[in-house]
Structure 1
Amino acid sequence: MAKSPEAPASNAAPSEGTVLNGGTVSPSGKGRATPSRAEQEAARKRPLVADTKEAKARARADLAAQREKARVGMAAGDEKFLPVRDKGPQRRFARDFVDSGWHLGEALMPAMVLVIVATFIPLPAIQYYSFIALWIFILFVIGDMIITSIRVKRAVRDKFGAERMEKGLGWYAAMRTIQMRFMRLPKPQVKRGQHPA
C-alpha cells in the first residue's frame, strides 16, 4: 500500500501574504499598512510660522536689518524711506535752505537747560533775570522762524514756480530751525554757507 504524502508541519511559519487559520492575513514585508493619501498630505504639511528657535532668531535678525536699512535711508534723505511729510524736491530744498545757515532756534534747548540750572541757585535775582532773558531770547527765535519761513517760500517760488508752491512749506522750514543740527532728521546734506541746489 502506497504511503500518503506527509502533511506540512503545523508549526511552520506562514508565508507573507498567506491566510492564517483564524482568517487573518499576515502583514506584508514592511510590517505596516500603506498610508492613505490624506495621511501623506498631512505629513507633508509644515506650519507657516517659524516654530524653531533658529527660525525665530533668523526672522528677528531679518527684521532688525530691514529697520536699520530704513533708518539709515531716512537719515540720508533717501526718498524711498522718507515719511510723506518729508518727501518731494521742494521739501528737500527747504531742508537744505535751513541747514545751510545758522539759526537762533538751535540754541533754544541749551538756553532752557541753563535757565533750569539757574533755578537751583538760591538767589532770586538770578532766577528772575534768567527767566526774563529766556523769554526775550524766545521772541528773537520766533522772529528768526518767521523770517526763515518767508525766505524759504520766496526761494521755492523762484526755483519751482508759484504754481508748484506747497502749502505748509514755510512752517516746515521754520520748525527745522529750532532743532539742533545733529538731531535733525533727515540729516543735513549741505554744509553751513553752502548754497542749496
Structure 2
Amino acid sequence: MFWSKKKSLDQGHPAAASSDARPGAKNRPTPRRRDQEAANKRPLVVADRKAARGTDKVRRKEALARQREAMVTGDDAHLPARDKGPERRYLRDYVDARWSVGEIMLPVMLLVLLLSLVRTTWALTTVFVLVYGLIIVAVIDAVLMWRRVKAKIAAKFGPTKVPAGGAMYAVMRAFQIRPTRMPKPQVKRGSFPA
C-alpha cells in the first residue's frame, strides 16, 4: 500500500534515483540492520580452540613480563592496579627513604628463634622481651609513620586523595626488608619525596 506510492515517486523522478557524490554527504546507502548485525557477529567460542589457547597464553606471558619489568623499573603504566598512581608512588618513596623498626624485625626474629633453643632462664627472658618489645616498638613506629605520610599526602595532593588502604600498604612495605620490596625502591635512604 504505502510502498507502492514510494516506488511510483522514485520512478517518476530520475534525479532522485541516481545519487551524485556530494561533498560532506555519506554517499552510500545505509546498510540494513540485519546485515550490520551479521557483520558484527563473532563466535563466543572460536573454532580452533588450541590456537586460541596458545595466543592467549602468549598474550598473558607478555603482560606478566611487562608487569615484572615495571616492578623493577617503577614504570607506572604497567604496574598492577594496587601500585598505580602518584599517591601510591609518593607513599612508596616516603617509606623507602626512611629507616623503620619493622624492617629489622625479621633478622631479629631469626636471632630470637635461635635463642629460644637455649633452655635457660636468661635466654627465655631475653626472647620474651625481644619479641614483645620489638613488636610494640614496630607498631608505634608504623602508626607514627602513617600519620606523618598521610598528612604529607593530604598537603600535596589534597585531603580527598589519600589512597584507600594506604595505611596497610605503607605498613606492610615498612615491615619488609628493603631489598625484597616490590616495586623496587626508586629512592635512596634519606631522600624523602618533595
Q: Is TM more than 0.5 here?
A: yes
Distance in 1 separating the partners of 2:57 and 2:155: 48
1:108 is aligned to 2:109: no
Greater CA radius of gyration, 1 or 2? 1
Structure 1 residues 76-125: Cα deviation after superposition (integer angstroms, max 9, x where no partner): 22223322221111011000011011111110111111111111123232
Instruction: Give the match's secondary structure for 1:80.
Output: coil
Aligned in 2, Cα 1:128/1:149: closer, same or farther, shift over 3 Å?
Answer: same
**Is it true that 1:135 corresponds to 2:132 in the alignment?**
yes
**Once the 2 structures are TM-superposed, how far is the Cα of residue 60 of structure 1 from its aligned partner?**
7.3
Aligned residue identity for 1:186: P
Paired residues, what number? Answer: 148
Percent identity over the alignment is 36
Which structure 2 residue ranges, 5 or more long, are not aligned? 1-46
Task: Note if 1:67 corresponds to 2:64.
Answer: yes
Letter in 1 for 2:152: A
Aligned pair 1:125/2:126, yes or no?
Answer: no
Q: How does 1:6-155 map to 2 (within 5 A)?
A: 47=48, 49=50, 64=61, 66-155=63-152
The amino acid that maps onto 1:140 is: V
Higher helix content, 1 or 2: 2
Following the alignment from structure 1 to structure 2, what is the Cα–Cα distance between the partners of residues 75 and 64? 17
Q: Which runs of 4+ in 1 moved over 4 A?
A: 58-66
Shift of 1:164: 2.4
Equivalent position of 2:193 in the other structure: 196
User: Shift in Å at residue 162 of structure 1?
Assistant: 1.5
Contact 2:67-2:80 at 8 Å conserved across structures: no
Is the 1:152–1:170 contact (alpha carbons within 8 Å) kept by the matching residues of 2? no
**Matched residue, 2:33:** none
Compute the displacement of 1:69 (Å).
3.1
Aligned residues: CA RMSD: 2.6
Instruction: Pick closer, same or farther for the CA change 1:116–1:72 going to 2, 3 Å.
Output: same
Q: State TM-score, norm by structure 1.
A: 0.65
Q: 1:62–1:91: structure 2 CA closer, same or farther, 3 Å change rule?
A: closer
Give the Å deviation of 1:138: 1.0
* Residue 176, structure 1, aligned to residue 177, structure 2: no
TM (norm. structure 2) is 0.66
Distance in 2 between residues matched to 1:127 and 1:189, nearest whole Å: 40
* C-alpha spacing 1:177/1:80, structure 2 compared with 1 (3 Å): same
Cα distance 1:192–1:119, how it changes in 2: closer, same or farther (>3 A)?
same
Paired AA for residue 140 in structure 2: G
Q: How far is 1:66 from its partner?
A: 4.8
In structure 1, the residue matched to 2:7 is none
Give the CA deviation at 1:169: 2.0
